[in-house]
Structure 1
Amino acid sequence: MIRRALVAAAVAAAALVALPTAPAQAQACPINYHCITTYYSDSAHTTEIGLRDEACDGTLYVWGTRSIYVDLYWSPC
């Protein structure tokens, strides 16, 4: 009985570890800020692969692809 419970607990723990996770999301741009999010291909930030530029007037410029490797720049309007 105890052996069966231990096996069930081990299987449950392995299932939790194997669950896929979503990539991290960039933070939302605060009101009255100009925000630029730059996306890179790796943790060394050597190759830029995308950009999201949110201007003070609400204009949004986006190109490329997103990744988990980002630089955030926020500037008050």
Structure 2
Amino acid sequence: MLRRALLAAALAAGATVTAVLPAVPAQARACTIDHYCYTTWYSNAAHTTAVGGKYEDCDGDITTWGIRSGYITFTESPC
């Protein structure tokens, strides 16, 4: 009986946390070592207007601009 009560409480808490957390924009995947990478975030699914970007060079330096959104492209090339 105690086990059921604890399980029910845990499920209720998990559902509450899930409902309260805001949606997060898509994150760029990690750039592989010895590669340079460019990530672009767009305003819509058609990828017509870029609203943000992230460039990672071969030395590990990172340059970003704009904002992140749910529409993303990622390009990776060896150094």
Q: List alignment gaps of at least 5 residues for structure 2.
A: 1-11
Per-residue Cα deviation, 1:5-25 (whole angstroms, up to 9, x for no partner): xxxxxxx7xx68x83543332
Contact 2:25 2:68 in 1 (8 A): no
- Percent of residue pairs bearing the same amino acid type: 51
SS for the counterpart of 1:71 is strand
Q: List alignment gaps of at least 5 residues for structure 1.
A: 1-11
Give the number of equivalent residue pairs.
63
- C-alpha RMSD of matched pairs (Å): 1.8
Among 22, 38, 41, the residue aligned to 2:43: 41
TM-score (norm 2): 0.69
Per-residue Cα deviation, 1:4-57 (whole angstroms, up to 9, x for no partner): xxxxxxxx7xx68x8354333221111111000011001110000011000001
SS for the counterpart of 1:56 is coil
**Larger-gyration structure (1/2):** 1
Contact 2:41 2:51 in 1 (8 A): yes
